[in-house]
């Protein structure tokens, strides 16, 4: 019994070492507030960056993660908005652009891995038609709806140095920022 546990522990440590879970930067880190650079080289570095993003996103139980959130100001994000009863469906999105937005809006209670503990109702276009490049640099066109659309827009904002709290009314934004400052002070004390 003991030997078996020891074996599982070794396997666990091995698997963890294969994963590259990065530290997620927290607001108001300046790297989160900067516009990210376009990607022109579709090489091993970008492939490694995308797998770091995927490992970090799943480890944090997120539905999306953008490169600036792990301190790299490049225009790439990953997202997986599949439901728990569906298969994993991770998309790697490079140099994204929105070509068309619906007139209809939908509202979601959004959160962000870089702004822990805060969720706010944010209204965004319900459907977006988008174009981006995949890991090989090949153009992909897609239409996203509902949560996928919200997530795409939230992650694209990150690449432009914008956070979901920037969509709030000014007074509300000040309240949320103050709450964040207080919680980061608390974290420093611990």
Binding footprint of Zn ion on the chain (CB under 5 A): 112
Question: Smallest distance from the beta carbon of 143 to Zn ion, in angstroms?
Answer: 22
How far apart CA 127 and CA 148 sit, in angstroms, is: 9
Question: Smallest distance from the beta carbon of 112 to Zn ion, in angstroms?
Answer: 3
Question: Smallest distance from the beta carbon of 111 to Zn ion, in angstroms?
Answer: 8
The active-site residue out of 120, 121, 155, 187 is: 155
Residue nearest to Zn ion (CB): 112
120 is catalytic: no
- Looking at the Cβ atoms of 68 and 94, the one nearer to Zn ion is 68
Give Cα 130 distance to the centre of its chain. Answer: 17
Question: Smallest distance from the beta carbon of 109 to Zn ion, in angstroms?
Answer: 13
How far apart CA 66 and CA 49 sit, in angstroms, is: 10
Residue 93: left if φ>0, alpha if ψ -120 to 50, beta else—which one?
beta
Report phi then psi at 52, rounded to 5. Answer: -60, -45
- Looking at the Cβ atoms of 39 and 112, the one nearer to Zn ion is 112
How far apart CA 11 and CA 133 sit, in angstroms, is: 36
- Looking at the Cβ atoms of 50 and 153, the one nearer to Zn ion is 153
- Looking at the Cβ atoms of 10 and 35, the one nearer to Zn ion is 35
Which of 144, 181, 187, 149 has its CA nearest to residue 165?
181
Report phi then psi at 137, rounded to 5. Answer: 85, 5
Q: What share of the chain is helix, strand, coil (3-state, %, to 5)?
A: 40, 25, 35
Instruction: Report, as residue numbers or ranges, the catalytic residues.
Output: 155
């Amino acid at each position: 019994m003991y030997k078996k546990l020891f074996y599982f522990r070794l396997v666990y440590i091995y698997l963890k070492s294969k994963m590259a879970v990065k530290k997620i930067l927290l607001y108001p880190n300046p790297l989160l507030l900067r516009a990210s650079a376009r990607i022109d080289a579709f090489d091993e570095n970008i492939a490694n960056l995308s797998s770091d993003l995927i490992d970090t996103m799943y480890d944090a139980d997120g539905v999306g993660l953008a490169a600036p959130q792990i301190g790299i100001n490049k225009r790439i994000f990953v997202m997986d908005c599949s439901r728990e009863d569906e298969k994993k469906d991770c998309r790697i999105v490079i140099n994204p652009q929105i070509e068309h937005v619906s007139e209809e809006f939908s509202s979601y209670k959004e959160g962000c891995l870089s702004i822990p503990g805060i969720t706010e109702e944010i209204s965004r276009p319900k459907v977006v038609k988008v174009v981006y490049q995949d890991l090989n640099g090949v153009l992909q066109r897609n239409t996203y709806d509902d949560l996928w659309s919200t997530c795409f827009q939230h992650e694209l904002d990150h690449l432009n140095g914008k956070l979901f709290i920037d969509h709030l009314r000014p007074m509300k934004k000040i309240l949320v920022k103050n709450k964040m400052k207080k919680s980061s002070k608390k974290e420093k004390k611990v």
